Amino acid sequence: MFKTSSIYKSIVYSLTIAPVLISTPLIATSLTGNALNSTIVETSSQQRQHQELSALWKSHALTDYADLLADIPDPANIARRVLKQKYPNIDPDRTFYVYFGEEGRSAHNFLGWDHFTPIHAMTMTQAALIDTFSLSSPDVLNSVSGFYTVGAGAKIYDSTNLVRVSPKDVAKTVWDADLQTQFDDEVEKFWNNNLGKFVSASKDAFRVSGYSAFQKNEISQSALKMIQDVLDQNASVNIYHMDIYGYSSPDILWIEPSTNQGSKLLYIPGAKKPFIEVSSLTELRGKLVTDLKSTANRTALAEHFSIYDRQDGTSYSGVNSALRGIANGQWASSYIMTKHSRINEDTFQSVAKAVMARNISDGDMQIKSNSEVTRDTALRTIGAIINLLPAMQIVEPEISIPLDLVILNATSLGLNINKAVTGDTEAERNKGALGAGLDSGFLAASIIPVAKKLSDSIKTSASQLHPTGNVADIIESSVPAEYDRLNVGDNPVVVTHPQTQQELYIVRLTDTKRVVAMRRTPSGTFIETNFESGRDIANSRIVDTTDPVTNRRQFLDKGGLLGGGKRGFKLTLSAIDPNVIPTASTIEDGYSIDKRKLIAESNGANYFHGSRSSSLLTFKLGSETNGAIEPMGQLIEKRVFPFSGEAGNSLAENAANRNLVSVVTLDEAGSAYDYATNTSRAAKFNIDVATNEATENELTLMQYSVSPSIIDDIKAGNAYAPLDGIQSEVANVARGKLALNNNRVIRFNGLAPAEKQLVQEEFPIMYGFEPSEFNIEPIQSDIKGEFGVRGGVQMNEIKVIYTTADKVSEVSAYLNDNNIHIPTKSFKDIQFNANEGAAGMSNNLLR
């Protein structure tokens, strides 16, 4: 039932493509008596379509997988770099560290000893990687080990093959370099660069596995519908991380209808049969109890939990003990799915974050020893091997051929890690730790480079399946030609997708004139869908709005350009030139952003945020925010009351800007420019108006009999002070506005003249950010390409500041006065100029 091989095989396996058809064929049904017989019927045209889509999806999944492989941090490179910097004349891969364990024969050489039979030998790189120097006290390293030009097998180790390097000095170099911290930085960089690919690969594996299971009659049509509902984030299903004894697996999912009626699914990525369909949780528990009697099955299931969670502590049991107890009947089956940890965000984003957390846990693995937690240095680098393997395992339905060369090493590593974690005695655990450390050193030095090289061959295979592996290649032709008859303004045609059975709306867009298929989300918004495959197209929200001139419903590719009161503007400039990023000012004064210039000028920024000059107060020396752009709700909880932005909205419990900073992608930077320049979204701060409003807010609270002590608490900045059971929305609003207005006045009065000027002028500011992808979250919005950055943006993630040409020097001077060095540029630096030729454009980008 479960995959029986170790998770470690994921990194050392080559890839082939399982013959999986992605699309569900048409089903013709006929009644015979009381039986419903289903016969799969495909026309030759449909077969060709399914084959093309199958090749496309597999190519797409393999391309993502190859990119992940290519980006795996190689800990051996880090060790190699440290050694070469210290010992530039020594090749660490051709110099061998030989450990003898005891003093040899006294000799007149660099170390003073000759040796004969070694305990183990490895390259200098491998020795640094696993920190084998810790096997002995630093004071005796030079007498019990050495560096030589030969490895194991020499008759004697003496001055003829000795390298004049002190093991004690090399050990100090390695310890001072802290290889683990350097590798942790590389892992963080990996996730920053690949989170999107990981999510995409996870989703593709889920989809491929689901349709494959249906084709093999392993799941029913209703189960397939649930799988599609998960992909669509449909509210008709509830999704949970599967847990054992309260320990959650990052990647095993439990799926059930929101009504709790009908089939349920367990999804185990990488298993021979990834989907298990049952009628109830009770049935699943019974099935698992039977299957877990197999040691191989228990081991395979345990591999979907972090190493730390598998261990027993001094006063609690881990996953391994729980699985054994459930299998032998000593533990109740109810310990399966006890926590019911529901996923309330995008399913595959949740999986990605959980796998990332597992990486951190496994990479910093701790061993339980007697009554205390100790860390064995030999285990530190095991994380270098296993940290990224769950990411590979996610797409393992596409993996099949092992590299025989390294199977034994991988198996040995798995056994040693298991012994290091579960050994009954401290000696056994330490022995396992040493073995795991040695094995991981050899694996890191050989297998990871092999895996990285596999990336190119995988991409070659992917291109043979489909030229690009790009799902977008079939987007333009996805809607059947019969719908070309639709005109702008016609009501959408509602159809049922032939494969996924989901309801789609086909309509001609008002701005770009394209005919598209759309899916309505549970929140009522529309997402463009590829009609052939039934798959949502990334970042393709369709805006459903009303034209204020004609009062007719319209569907737009870009929100805000039409239906905003701009009479006569019927075609976006981006439809004419792909380098144009339109703004609301495009119609009035012709200002639009040149995408090429924006990329060249923005210092690596990939998200943009519109604001006002008062936000620059974050850069003031000693500021409570330390140069960060924080969410409005977070600022108010800190009692730092901002002068710009829609701060009042953040007082609502579910407001997006309570915990998120709103940003747009580079392609939608025009929306950030619009926000910065549109004063109607948030009026300028006026101290007289704020003072008067605070007085009115206080009178309102007094009318609701709010006690003076609570009013004083609110005026002191507690925007969420309890109102003694008063349920009035008017009172709640007055409470928030009193805290906001009163403290804005107090804060303004305490500012220096230069800061007061920034608040009173409130000129437009547009920030360019390069935030961690871990913190990016989709939000429900009418602005295409809008996301939220959870927790805000740190100062080192702010890459550029744009403002009007006449304010560049003022902003630059303010930043310099506070010792802040962020490039400040003019909106004119990124303005699109239709008369600028290619040569002029090239010169402009190179200046």
pLDDT tier at 736, thresholds 50, 70, 90: confident
Q: What is the dihedral of CA 671, 675, 677, 680, to 10 degrees?
A: 130
Q: Which pLDDT does position 226 carry in this prediction? A: 93
Q: Quickly count: other Cβ atoms within 10 Å of residue 276's Cβ.
A: 22
d(CA 663, CA 685): 23
Residue 17 has pLDDT above 50, yes or no: no
Q: In 3D, which of 565, 483, 470 has the Cα closest to residue 516?
A: 483
* Residue 210 CB-density burial (10 A; 0-12 exposed, 13-18 middle, 19+ buried): buried
d(CA 817, CA 708): 43
pLDDT tier at 830, thresholds 50, 70, 90: very high
Are the C-beta atoms of 769 and 672 separated by less than 8 Å? no
Q: Which pLDDT does position 656 carry in this prediction? A: 58
Name the least confident of 50-54, 675-679, 766-770, 775-779: 50-54
* 398 Cβ contact partners less than 8 Å away, ≥ 6 residues apart: 15, 16, 17, 18, 58, 61, 62, 65, 205, 208
d(CA 167, CA 83): 12
pLDDT tier at 336, thresholds 50, 70, 90: very high
**430 or 164, which is more confident:** 164
Residue 361 has pLDDT above 80, yes or no: no
d(CA 298, CA 659): 41
Q: Which pLDDT does position 333 carry in this prediction? A: 92
Q: Which pLDDT does position 570 carry in this prediction? A: 29
Residue 444 has pLDDT above 50, yes or no: no
> Which residues lie across from 526 on neighbouring strands?
520, 542
d(CA 461, CA 465): 7
| Crossing angle of the two packed helices 347-363 and 179-215, in degrees rounded to 10 | 140
Q: In 3D, which of 275, 271, 270 has the Cα closest to residue 226?
A: 275
Q: Which pLDDT does position 806 carry in this prediction? A: 94
* Residue-range domain boundaries for the chain: 9-72+182-465, 93-164, 475-555, 572-684+762-847, 685-752
d(CA 86, CA 77): 14
Percent of the chain scoring above 70 in pLDDT: 65
pLDDT tens column, 111-128: 777 888 888 888 898 888
DSSP 218-232: SS-HHHHHHHHHHHT
> Which residues lie across from 661 on neighbouring strands?
789
Residue 403 has pLDDT above 50, yes or no: no
Name the least confident of 34-38, 220-224, 416-420, 507-511: 34-38
pLDDT tens column, 641-660: 888 755 555 555 555 567 88
Name the least confident of 360-364, 450-454, 591-595, 688-692: 360-364
Residue 616 has pLDDT above 90, yes or no: yes
Q: Which tokens hold the place of 701?
A: 């609270």
Residue 475 has pLDDT above 50, yes or no: no
Q: Which pLDDT does position 457 carry in this prediction? A: 61
Q: Which pLDDT does position 331 carry in this prediction? A: 93
pLDDT tens column, 193-236: 777 777 877 887 788 788 778 888 899 989 999 998 898 878 88
Across the chain, what does the average pLDDT equal? 72
Q: Which pLDDT does position 405 carry in this prediction? A: 26
pLDDT tier at 725, thresholds 50, 70, 90: confident
Which range among 61-70, 435-444, 512-521 has the greatest average pLDDT? 512-521
Q: Which pLDDT does position 400 carry in this prediction? A: 32
pLDDT tens column, 144-203: 888 999 988 888 888 888 898 999 999 888 888 887 778 777 877 887 777 777 787 788
Q: Which pLDDT does position 690 carry in this prediction? A: 84
Q: Which pLDDT does position 55 carry in this prediction? A: 57
Residue 399 has pLDDT above 80, yes or no: no
